[in-house]
Structure 1
Amino acid sequence: MILEPSIDSLQRKIRSKYTLVTLSARRARQMLETNQVFAENSKSHKFVGKALEEVLQDKLYVKEDSK
Structure 2
Amino acid sequence: MSKKDYDGMRYPSVDDLLKVIDSKYKLAYAAARRAHIIEEEEWTAAEDGMCVKPVGQALEEILNNQTKMTFK
Q: Any stretches of 5+ residues in structure 1 without a counterpart?
A: none
The size of the alignment, in residue pairs, is 65
3-state SS, counterpart of residue 49 of structure 1: helix
TM-score (norm 2): 0.79
Please tell me whether residue 15 in structure 1 is matched to residue 22 in structure 2: yes
Per-residue deviation at 1:64?
A: 7.0
Distance 2:32 2:43 in 1: 15
Instruction: Write the letter of the residue equivalent to 2:19.
Output: R
Alignment partner for residue 24 of structure 1, among 19, 31, 38? 31
Give % identity: 37
TM-score (norm 1): 0.84
Per-residue deviation at 1:41?
A: 1.8
Q: Any stretches of 5+ residues in structure 2 without a counterpart?
A: 1-6
The structure carrying a bigger helix percent of its residues is: 2
Please tell me the root mean square deviation across aligned C-alpha atoms, in Å: 1.9
Distance change in 2, residues 1:32/1:40 (3 Å): closer
